[in-house]
Amino acid sequence: MKVGRRFAVLLVVVLAVALSLVGARATQAAHAGAKVTKLTIWVDNVQKPAIDKITSSWGTRRGVDVNVQFHSFGNIRADLGTVKADNAPDVIVAAHDWTGELAANGLVLPLFPSKALKKQFPQYALDAFSYGGRLYGAPYALENVGLVVNTRLVKVPKTFAQFEKEALAFKRKSPDNIALAIPQGSAGDAYHMYPFFSGLGGYVFGHAKNGALQASRLGVANKVFLKNASLIDKWNREGLINSKADYGTAKNAWLKQNAAFWITGPWEVDGLKASGIPFRIIQLPKIKYRSVPFLGVQGTMVTKYAQVHGVESLAKDLVANEMMKASFQLDLEAANLRFPANKVAGKRVGDPILRQFGAAGLGGVPMPNIPQMGSVWAELGGAWVKATKGPGATPARTAFAQAAKNIRDKIAGG
């Protein structure tokens, strides 16, 4: 009997061990079969630290393994159209002027942030990432030029007439001086010249009722601008603007204090700080209309591959929720040296130079994000070159009317 009881007890122990082993193997098999949710983001080096930070916290909360991959910014747009689905990103950092091409090709998905979050952004920042009336990107940074004033040499102008008078008076002090350091060169520079263009009533494309840009409504030589174009001829005669100055010439003139005024952007923050020159940055004073600059807007977008990978809702939560918050945009501002698109974040920017560039961009016009803009740059820049090259310049009215005709022909020709 004792032997029988011992055998029974031993049998129970053996069965218990066996069952535990079976359970452990079943659990291991279940874990081995479970799929970890992954989400891939393409970023450039400058955004990576801030995006690593936010996705680490967000990924832990949402149970997502976020793979933040370095991808050269200049290659992201082209590579998104050729990458294989297995290697494709679910989210990308992007420039707003990619929006039309990417949306038209079905490579990015529309976003629907909350009304509360959208109110934290100027409408023009949201418009920058909109196409056909739908939002396709979450803006996080604004980039624009301003008028940098050497306060050792001149007073900060409050009106355009004061700016013009101060610039020309400084130019007359030395044959080495120029009135305004603004880059053009033989190829032209419609981007840096835009505050003068908008100040005279110029615009590139008109809008439909839903806010969508319409390439058929070209404003390069609209009636209001042409009426004011004689001012360009005046600036050319008096030497306020001369298209012979390229980027290097303009920058060196200001740094050597051969120019008291310089049109440039936040990419020159380090150089401005190192120059030792006292300065203020303002928006170019109103000419006939407010002289607003072109805006470059940076942001993040959800790609079509998020659908393919089964992470569309997660990707949209990350982009249209987390990445639109002020805290994330401030982290990016510190790394990116660009003014945040979120207005709440903008009020918290500590760098005085970035704050001034931010103020200089108020009311700015996002560079048109539709494909037809590719037909505009060279012609618009070229019109400025022809009209401001000094002796022998083409009358501005003629130069811009011809540019408008060329642009329409290029757009019609596809």
* Mean pLDDT across 233-253: 97
Percent of the chain's residues with pLDDT above 70: 91
Q: Is the pLDDT of residue 11 over 90?
A: no
Rounded CA separation 301/287 (Å): 37
| Range list of H helices, 240-387 | 247-255, 269-275, 305-308, 312-320, 326-336, 343-346, 352-360, 377-387
| Range list of H helices, 63-214 | 73-80, 99-104, 115-118, 123-128, 160-171, 190-199
Structure confidence at residue 221 as a pLDDT band (50, 70, 90)? very high
Q: What is the pLDDT of residue 332?
A: 87
> Taking all residues of the chain, what is their mean pLDDT, rounded to a whole number?
91
Contact indicator for 195, 277 with CB cutoff of 8 Å: no
Q: What is the pLDDT of residue 296?
A: 96
Q: Is the pLDDT of residue 13 over 70?
A: no
Percent of the chain's residues with pLDDT above 90: 87
Per-residue pLDDT tens over the stretch 200-219? 999 999 998 888 899 999 99
Per-residue pLDDT tens over the stretch 372-381? 999 999 999 9
Mean pLDDT check: name the lowest of 75-84, 166-175, 241-250, 327-336.
327-336
Per-residue pLDDT tens over the stretch 137-177? 999 999 999 999 999 999 999 999 999 999 999 999 999 99
Mean pLDDT check: name the lowest of 43-47, 248-252, 302-306.
43-47
Contact indicator for 81, 130 with CB cutoff of 8 Å: no
Rounded CA separation 64/66 (Å): 6
Per-residue pLDDT tens over the stretch 168-204? 999 999 999 999 999 999 999 999 999 999 999 999 9
Specify which residues 141 forms β-bridges with. Answer: 298, 340
Rounded CA separation 305/170 (Å): 57
C-alpha count within 13 angstroms, C-beta hemisphere, residue 394: 15
Return the biggest CA–CA distance within the chain: 123
Q: What is the pLDDT of residue 2?
A: 42
* Mean pLDDT across 103-128: 96
Pairing of strands 138-143, 130-131: unpaired
Q: What is the pLDDT of residue 7?
A: 40
**In whole angstroms, what separates CA 324 from the centre of its chain?**
14
